[in-house]
Structure 1
Amino acid sequence: MKNTLIFLAFLFASLNSNAQILKDTITKTVEKPKPLKIHHAEPLYLDLIRDLGARKGEKELNFGMGIDDYKEYMSYSGFMEYEFAVANRLGVEVEVPFKFYQDVGGVETTATPQNRIEGLKVATQYTFLVSEKYQTSMAVGYIQEFEFSSFSSIDHHGKFLEGILYNPIFIVAKKWTPNVHTLLYTGPVFEQHLDSNDINTIGQVNASFHYSFAGGNFIGLETNMEFMKNESSVTFRPQIKQKLSNGLYLGFVTGIPTEFKEKGVSFMTRIIWEP
């Protein structure tokens, strides 16, 4: 009798184990495969709202600091940025940029802007094409930024908002070889001034070329072009991205304008964390 009970217990345990294995096999079989995603090197200065072809649940946290030489004053900028893929190929972003200014040589001028939190930027991006054959991804997006007033204007006039930026964007990226990447990021920026309700239009064309290495490291060149009425500007931004540990990267960017009339060389560093 004792041996019979032991045999039955063993048989029950074996059947239960086999049933669990069968259940796991069926679950894995019916699970949908992850959508195709092509790795494209992402520019560091004007980065994307989320990876092209992002998969649901992917997220990223960015911190950055920069220094700009405006001849008559220095600008110290920074930002905090959170990116999240709410669905496959659909990403959202929230960013808070800020700027502080210092007169050159301690001489105060009227050209020096007031210190401020730049505003609140919210954005979304959808990758509508991922082609494995052509190693190409395309996306559309939209950025809206609420421009805050300077600390001085808020204190003395109670003026909180200065303007609103509306920026639809189009992105196309191609991976030519496992190491060579190109990307085009373009779209108009409509800047509405709330005091006068005037709207300025700025055309943006941003092209980048990167050579990537193992682990997500790369070196590259980002070119930022802006067009406004009878004015235009071009800034070249050589850059490098280095992996520090799993999910943690550090990027360095130098800005070199083609003309040094009002602005000199700039520097920016970006810390990228993918939890």
Structure 2
Amino acid sequence: MSLTNDISEDRIQMMTKTVQFSKLFYELKRRRKDKQKQKIEEMNGLIDEMDEEEFESIFTIGQLNKIDKMIKERNISMENAILLLKHVGYCKELKHISFYSFNYSSLSERMREMIIDENEKKKEEKNEKFLLDLCECYALLSYRCSYELLSIAVPCLLKVALKKDETEEAQKEVEMALLALGKIGYRENKRELHLNEIKEIVYYHQEHQNLTRLAYQSAWQFLIKRFTKDRNLEDMIVNELHFGREATKALEDLSKSVDWKRKEERGKEAKEVLVIERCITSIKGQSQRYLQWMLRYT
């Protein structure tokens, strides 16, 4: 088969996925809440299969504004909107897709206001689960957060990330919270803020192996993004938390566990492959600092 035909087939497959997604999205407003959930699960399945080009062709500013309008007009429940948006953010981070549309959409402003409003409620009126869902969605979809939102989101996400329950459901909750935290860059004046919580998460995993690979990798990302500019804290990362040893071990474990040739289906990579690719991309982003640490402390 010629290269031209291969390209044409790839293009047709991309169009098929995007058309299917658009069709399901159009049908959402015609469905009851329970039927909407079924449609969203189908949409999330399509998102799993999308590459970066397909993803960006779907989640434009216009599309995100449509979701915002559906929420405003009550054509989609907030619960179902979060089910979709959280999966969009999860796949975006897992596949390391650059994505800037969200911050320029009306949906971003709506979610920002909802986070602030929910946080300002009295304790007995506040819905902690709803606030957590909103914070996870916003952190995963956004490429920048204001200090005001960080001051709400980080403590909320850390509370979940500190859970030590090893049930499958709890592990999923911790993984999502740490993935959202790992997305958040350094934007605070006090470098030591939340340091003890992150150290506790890393220490506990080193002793009990309670986190998934993606969750542990995300904890390190959050830590390194926030504290590498401080020499004292850098010493803590490499000497107390043994960054070089842990990074080397993680890459060795991942490389042994991955069948690089295995694909569940065309265009859909196995999750463990995506995890190691995300890890390598992260290391590449700070390659000089990481290399220095690994040479000095392994």
Q: TM-score, normalised by structure 1?
A: 0.21
Q: TM-score, normalised by structure 2?
A: 0.19
Q: Write 1 or 2 for the structure with the bigger share of strand.
A: 1
Q: Write 1 or 2 for the structure with the bigger share of helix.
A: 2
